[in-house]
Amino acid sequence: MADVDFSEILHSPLDDRPARSSWWPVIVGLVLGAAAVLGGYVLTASDEAAPVTTTVAATTPPSDEPAGVPVDEVAFPPGYVPLTEVVALAPVSAIAVDEELLVGVSSVVRRGFDPEGGLTIAGSWVLETAAGETITSTGAVVDPATPGLFSVIFPNPGDVELRTLRMIERWDPDPRSGSQTAAVEPLPGTVAGPVVLDLGGGVTLDVTDITIGERIADLTWELAGTTRGGDVRVALRVQSDGADLGLYFPAGDLFFTREALDPDETAGTIGLQRDQGLQGDLATATDIVIEADVTLVVGTPVDLEFDVTGIEVVR
Amino acid sequence: MSTGARVVVGIGAGVVLAGLGLLLGRSSAESAVPSATDATLSASTTMVAEPQWAAADGVRFLSTIVVPVEFGVGDGVATLEYELTSLGSPDGIIPPVVPESWRLTTVTGRSMEATTDPPRLPTTFGDDTVRPVTDSVIFDEVGDVTMSGVESLAVTGWRIATPVEVEVEMSSTIGSTLRLFDGVTIELATIIEQPSGSILDFDVTAVADPWHSGERSPFGRSSIFEGAGPGWASAASTFGGTGLSGGVTGFQLRRTGQEVPETISIRYTRIAWLPVPGETVVPTGGPDG
């Protein structure tokens, strides 16, 4: 499997390896020659006296085809199907859990892939079984700790053999952001809203039912002006005549949040918790500022087909 | 000069130099014990696991490259230190494909197996320290095998980090327990009612498996629990140990409003390290790999 130009893929420790010396045959020969003499001597000496312990360290003689990763003209490793010029995919694992079948898809990226603003590897998939049954995916799971592997979720077809996996639509992120200030009465309390954030291009994030307490806050959001949803992240600032009294940010496991874009998610509820370092008196509040980062899903039809007959489903 | 010719030249030079060294050494040893009629040359040294290659290329399996760093044999132990690099993304923390099972074969045909746990996370997270992950495999029963006695070293089995997300239902009665698909057990410990909602605290009993998100796993935060469906405002986990080294020992879900339904839905996501076979020979050669 070592047959790809990895220098064309992401920067790796291989890039930093020192250049090979053309003198290795001589060096290896020196070692072999010395080893032969020393070995013969030790054998002779061992007949004369004991004990003798050797420390001769030998290296494997080199071959004309050095081990490692040779270079060729292939853009991606074998088995990986290009999705874009810089990303290729290959299904590699599968596990059935209760009502779900999750197919693990490995990705490789070439140099130039931008993990921040680039492709979010998700989308719509179709799984075909050996019996001819066709199953459409219901979602995907991406883990930020292992971005080179994500799972596509299907309804569990039971004990069947897998035949073909097809990606029929890829989802690209369309990041937007917006901010809006609204006047409020002294808090804690509820702000009915809506507070409307302009995300550009006619898309708005309408925030309603904003409940603000001393330690936590809740709000309801809905996207308008778009047929596709996505990922919505909101922070809330409580102010008194422009001075911050409290900052509320999303609760939960921020660092290891695991999710994939969901084009059907156009409304929801978000819980926020207050930053303990900013504990102003909410009774003096005059305004709130809602800030949002929204990633909309842009769907693009694709047709990638993978043979998955060799993948064993862990049950 | 061809490669073969250079090897021959090297061998010749090595023979000459080693022979000269032995002559000088024997002369010196004999002169040191001039009166001993039964004088012998005794060389007793300790076998040290010397690095045999410090800059060898790597081998690939799926999206992971294994780069040997050091290989040493001594005192009955063979140790390979290696680096793992993922082609999956430039900002990945953990390679999603990692070796688990290894086999060392000697020139006499003897084979021995060894296994490795999940690789440890790097201790810092700067751009230059996230990759590659360094790990090692140890064969502790090689006996008197030396470097020249090692025929080959190969990875025979791998683990693939496959994210799994499931939704489960359980009773909201205090003390209710639920065993999840991977053996993890959760128990609803308390429900605290507050003016703005209810807080549900759960205890988590992990699985003692290094490839699971248990206490001994470096992937302590690979298990995430969240409320599924409407009404859940937030979720947070508690951890044993410190930082990234601790496993999930509990979690807390907060609902908006006072009412907690009789049956609650929980979304459970984690990394399932699925085993897959795949033999990949790791180079144990000289300076050129």
Q: Which residue in A23, A54, A104 is closest to B162 by CB distance?
A: A104
Annotate A59-88 with DSSP letters as a single string: -BPP-SS-SS----S-SS-TTPEESSSSEE
pLDDT tens per residue across span A224-272: 999 888 888 899 999 999 999 999 987 654 444 445 667 788 998 887 8
Mean confidence (pLDDT) of chain A: 75
| Contact call for residues A252 and B234 (beta carbons, < 8 A) | yes
- Report the pLDDT value the prediction gives residue B90, as an integer from 0 to 100: 60
Token pair of A163 as six digits: 């035949």
The CA distance from A61 to the nearest CA of chain B, in Å, is: 7
- Report the pLDDT value the prediction gives residue B43, as an integer from 0 to 100: 27
Which CA distances in Å does A194 have to A211, A221, A275? 12, 9, 24
Radius of gyration of chain A (CA): 30
Cα separation, B66 vs B82, in Å, equals 6
- Report the pLDDT value the prediction gives residue B89, as an integer from 0 to 100: 67
Q: Which residue in A6, A62, A144 is closest to B286 by CB distance?
A: A62
- pLDDT digit of tens for each residue in chain B (289 aa)? 444 444 444 444 444 444 444 443 433 333 333 232 222 222 222 222 222 222 346 788 998 888 888 899 988 999 999 988 778 766 656 788 999 999 999 999 999 999 998 776 554 444 444 456 788 999 998 999 988 899 999 999 999 989 898 889 999 999 999 999 988 999 999 999 877 678 899 999 877 777 775 333 444 446 788 888 777 767 777 766 544 445 678 888 988 766 899 999 998 888 888 999 999 999 876 433 3
| Contact call for residues A126 and A153 (beta carbons, < 8 A) | no
Q: What is the 3-state secondary structure (H, E, C) of A127-171?
A: EEECCCCEEECCEEEECCCCCCEEEEEEECCCCCCEEEEEEEEEE
The CA distance from B240 to the nearest CA of chain A, in Å, is: 15
Q: A94 to chain B: which residues are within 8 Å by CB?
A: 162, 274
Count the alpha carbons within 13 Å of A163 in the hemisphere toward its beta carbon. 9
> Does residue A121 or residue A20 have the better pLDDT?
A121
Comparing CA positions, the residue from B199, B270, B233 lying closest to residue A251 is B233
Which CA distances in Å does A27 have to A86, A278, A281, B150, B289? 40, 66, 76, 20, 13
- Report the pLDDT value the prediction gives residue A142, as an integer from 0 to 100: 79
Query: β-strands A149-155, A139-142: how paired?
Result: antiparallel
A315 touching B (Cβ < 8 Å): no
> Is A100 within 8 Å of B166 when comparing Cβ atoms?
yes
ipTM of the complex model: 0.72
A7 touching B (Cβ < 8 Å): no
Cα separation, A23 vs A28, in Å, equals 9
Cα separation, A218 vs A251, in Å, equals 10
| Contact call for residues B48 and A55 (beta carbons, < 8 A) | yes
- Report the pLDDT value the prediction gives residue A30, as an integer from 0 to 100: 42
The CA distance from B241 to the nearest CA of chain A, in Å, is: 17
- Report the pLDDT value the prediction gives residue B135, as an integer from 0 to 100: 87
Q: B67 to chain A: which residues are within 8 Å by CB?
A: 13-14
A contact test, residue of B81, B225, B237, B288 with most A CBs within 10 A: B288
Q: Which of A19-23, A96-100, A156-160 has the lowest mean pLDDT?
A: A19-23
Which CA distances in Å does B21 have to A161, B14, B15, B171? 67, 10, 10, 81
Chain A / chain B CB contacts < 8 angstroms: 349
Tell me how far apart the terminal alpha carbons of chain A are, to the nearest angstrom.
28
Q: Looking at residues A280-299, what average pLDDT do you find?
A: 93
A257 touching B (Cβ < 8 Å): yes
> Does residue A290 or residue B56 have the better pLDDT?
A290
Give per-residue burial for A263-280: e unless 16+ CB within 10 Å, then b: beebeeebbbbbeeeeee
The CA distance from A241 to the nearest CA of chain B, in Å, is: 27
Q: What's the maximum distance between 2 C-alpha atoms anywhere in chain A? A: 101
> Is B286 within 8 Å of A59 when comparing Cβ atoms?
yes
Q: Looking at residues A201-220, what average pLDDT do you find?
A: 91
Strand locations in chain A (E): 81-82, 87-97, 100-109, 123-129, 134-136, 139-142, 149-155, 162-183, 189-191, 195-200, 203-212, 216-224, 230-240, 243-250, 267-274, 287-307, 313-314
- Report the pLDDT value the prediction gives residue B122, as an integer from 0 to 100: 54
> Is B88 within 8 Å of A109 when comparing Cβ atoms?
yes
Q: Residue A85: CB partners within 8 Å, gap ≥ 6?
A: A110, A112
Comparing CA positions, the residue from A235, A111, A79, A260 lying closest to residue A173 is A260
Confidence band for A6, pLDDT divided at 50, 70 and 90: very low
Q: A63 to chain B: which residues are within 8 Å by CB?
A: 285
- Report the pLDDT value the prediction gives residue B288, as an integer from 0 to 100: 37
Cα separation, A281 vs A149, in Å, equals 46
A147 touching B (Cβ < 8 Å): yes
